[in-house]
Amino acid sequence: MTKIEKAIQVTGKKGEIPSRHAVNKMLSQVYSVLAGTWHQTMRPKHFTNAAYSAYGFRPRSTKYNKRKTTKLPLVFSGQGRQSTESARIQGTRNGGRAIMPGARVFNFTPKGWDKPLRDELLRTNAAEKQEFERIARRLLREMLTSKAKIRVKLA
């Protein structure tokens, strides 16, 4: 499951922005689109050789690489990549999630590592965060017809 949360604020004077209920509905839709974008376009990049430099993946041991069926990161047998291809996308006013039940295969910590392998699957880099911010601003500007101020900043 990847999460995108608490990054968007819509502010303005009374009458300039829609009701709180309408804004919350908009935020839910935007977060849902962002989670879907991550799953469709950014998740597959984690399974390419470019992921080592793009996401700062730890280098694998020579022994491990010899046992693998491919030379791609996060792919030992292909089960993990295949199991994350389907996801349930959820959006709320506070964030969006791509829930991938098959991603459980990444819930282990390799020997000598301090974090589980799942952390490598869920990483986003600075360019992707900027892309999320750009998409969120564009969607909100399309939804809002007023002079409301939109603040989008992903941590």
Res. 116: pLDDT tops 50:
yes
Measure the CA–CA gap between 94 and 140, rounded to whole angstroms: 15
- Model confidence at 35, in pLDDT bands (50, 70, 90)? very high
Is 114 strand, coil or helix?
Answer: coil
Query: How high is the pLDDT of residue 106?
Result: 82
Res. 18: pLDDT tops 50:
yes
Q: Which two tokens stand for residue 98?
A: 């791509």
Structurally, the chain folds into a number of domains equal to 1
Contacts of 106 (CB under 8 A, 6+ apart): 74, 80, 116, 117, 118, 120, 121
Enclosing domain of residue 9 = 2-152
Measure the CA–CA gap between 73 and 47, rounded to whole angstroms: 5
Beta strands at 8-11 and 88-92: parallel, antiparallel or unpaired: unpaired
More confident residue, 144 or 145: 144
